[in-house]
């Protein structure tokens, strides 16, 4: 019997690794103005992931963008309706599991800000939809 999954040659494996993990320039990070940082921290009053995302809280609070950037090297908007306070553990969870965490964090932002949600489907469309700022789950 022949192996249905023959091992890759060393050359093909190396070229795949180099192609997939080419170095990306180090991010300079996002500078969040102090007034905006204070506004978000006062609104969130601690880690937004507590009770919403798995794992217990651990680490200091960090402000994080909820909506994904539109590609490597591009930044998403740095505004109150796109930032949440997360502890280090929940920030890492969101980074590793964005497809699960982002909808939860977006629901929180809509409930807190009552602002539009920017829908960003896979094909790149950026339509806005009005969302009820007071969903029945909060009443």
Question: Per the confidence metrics, is the pTM higher than 0.75?
Answer: no
DSSP states along the chain: ---SSPPPPHHHHHHHHHHHT---PPP---PPPHHHHHHHHHHH-S-TTTTTSSS---S-EEEEE-SPPSSTT-----SGGGEEEEEHHHHHHHHHTHHHHHHHHHHHHHHHH-PPEE---TT----EE---SS-GGG-
Residues of the chain with pLDDT under 70: 1-28, 70-73, 115-139
Query: Which tens digits make up the pLDDT trace of 106-120?
Result: 999 999 887 655 544
* Confidence (pLDDT) at 138: 38
Q: Where are the domains of the chain?
A: 32-138
* Confidence (pLDDT) at 115: 65
Using CA atoms, how far apart are residues 63 and 43, in angstroms rounded to an integer? 12
Select from 42, 116, 56, 34 the least CA-distant residue to 82. 116
């Amino acid at each position: 019997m022949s192996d249905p999954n023959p091992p890759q040659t060393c050359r093909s494996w190396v070229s795949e690794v180099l192609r997939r993990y080419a170095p990306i320039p180090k991010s300079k990070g996002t500078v969040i103005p102090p007034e905006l940082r204070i506004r978000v921290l006062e609104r969130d009053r601690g880690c937004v992931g507590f009770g919403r995302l798995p794992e217990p809280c651990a680490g200091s609070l960090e402000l994080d963008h909820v909506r994904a950037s539109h590609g490597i090297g591009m930044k998403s908007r740095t505004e109150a309706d796109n930032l949440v306070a997360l502890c280090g553990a929940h920030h890492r969870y969101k980074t590793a599991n964005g497809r699960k965490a982002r909808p939860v964090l977006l629901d929180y932002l809509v409930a807190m800000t009552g602002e539009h949600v920017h829908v960003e489907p896979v094909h790149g469309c950026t339509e806005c939809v009005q969302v009820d700022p007071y969903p029945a789950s909060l009443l």
